[in-house]
Amino acid sequence: MSEAEKKNPEENIVAEDQIPDDLVAEETSEVEAPEEILAEEAGTSDAVRVAELDAQNAQLTDKLLRTMAEMENLRNRTRREKEDTVKYAPQKLVTDLIGVMDNLQRALSSVSEEIAAGHDDLKTLRDGIEMTNREMLKVFGRHNISEIEALGKKLDPHSHEALFEIPDPSQPEGTIVQVIQPGFRLHDRLLRPARVGVAKGGPAAGAVKVDTTA
């Protein structure tokens, strides 16, 4: 240091307005202000928190939708069970009444119309039984109890029970040719299958007859 610099040390201080602008900008850019750092950290923290809340919201929404769907299914199932309870409530009573109808049918079968025609008392008794049987069928119809069609129909294991086979080449095989005991349904529920005899030996049901004379 020269003698002049030692004598006037203040002259060695460079004024701020004499520092080049590019140097000041470079130093400023290298060191961020504490406020900017805090703001950036706060922004990052908020973004993470928002993402967490979005994920939680999605999970809760999914759980809510699942719960609502389960509740709707439960309501529908409960409603169907209630409707079925009311719809099929008389099933046991109807089953017992079907047994009564069986006895009426047996009584009618035991006395033919030809025999009853020659005896007034028998004819009166048979007519009374036949009238009671018809009235029972009307009552059944009013309460959605229907007799299963069987005679002349193709055997259906969901509605008919085959007890035996009858050789009959004139009928397609599997056709019901005799009804031993009628079957019944309550609405769409099977109460008892029709017990029947089916034809054996004829062409298969639904087969197309081929004309070989041409």
Whether the pTM exceeds 0.85: the reply is no
Show the domain range for 174.
145-205
Tell me, yes or no, whether 213 lies in a domain: no
In a domain, 2, yes or no: no
Q: Is the pLDDT of residue 5 over 60?
A: no
* Assigned domain for 186 exists: yes
Any domain includes 3: no
Instruction: Please count the structural domains in the chain.
Output: 3
Whether 50 and 78 map to the same domain: the answer is yes
- Percent of the chain surpassing pLDDT 90: 27
Give the domain-ending residue among 87, 107, 128.
87
Residue 211: pLDDT band by 50, 70, 90 thresholds?
A: very low
**Is pLDDT larger for residue 166 or for residue 205?**
166
Q: Is residue 59 part of a domain?
A: yes
User: Would you state the pLDDT for residue 157?
Assistant: 92
Cα–Cα distance between 196 and 161 in angstroms, integer? 6
Of the candidates 202, 182, 204, 206, which has an alpha carbon nearest to the alpha carbon of residue 194?
Answer: 182
Give per-residue pLDDT as tens, 150-172: 998 999 999 999 999 999 888 88
The confidence score (pLDDT) of residue 73 equals 92
d(CA 140, CA 137): 5
Confidence at residue 162, expressed as pLDDT on a 0 to 100 scale: 93
Whether residue 10 is contained in a domain is answered as no
Whether the pLDDT of residue 209 is over 50: the answer is: no
Domain assignment present for 11? no
What pLDDT, on a 0 to 100 scale, did the predictor assign at position 198? 94
Q: Is the pLDDT of residue 176 over 90?
A: yes
Same domain, 139 and 157: no
- Looking up residue 153, the CATH number of its domain turns out to be 2.30.22.10
DSSP per-residue letters across 124-151: HHHHHHHHHHHHHHHHHHHTTEEEPP-T
Please check whether residues 137 and 180 belong to one and the same domain.
no
**Shared-domain flag, residues 24 and 79:** yes
DSSP H or E stretch at residue 114? helix 113-117
Considering the domain boundaries, does residue 131 fall inside one?
Answer: yes
Give the span between the Cα atoms of 71 and 79, in whole angstroms. 12
Residues 38 and 75 in one domain: yes
Q: Are residues 70 and 96 in the same domain?
A: no
| Torsion (CA) 71, 77, 80, 85 in degrees, nearest 10 | -120
Q: Taking a C-beta distance cutoff of 8 angstroms, is the pair 122, 115 a contact?
A: yes
- Tell me: do 81 and 23 sit in the same domain: yes
State pLDDT tens for residues 110-146.
Answer: 888 887 787 888 888 888 988 998 898 899 989 899 9
Return the higher-pLDDT residue of 24 and 77.
77
pLDDT value of position 214 = 41
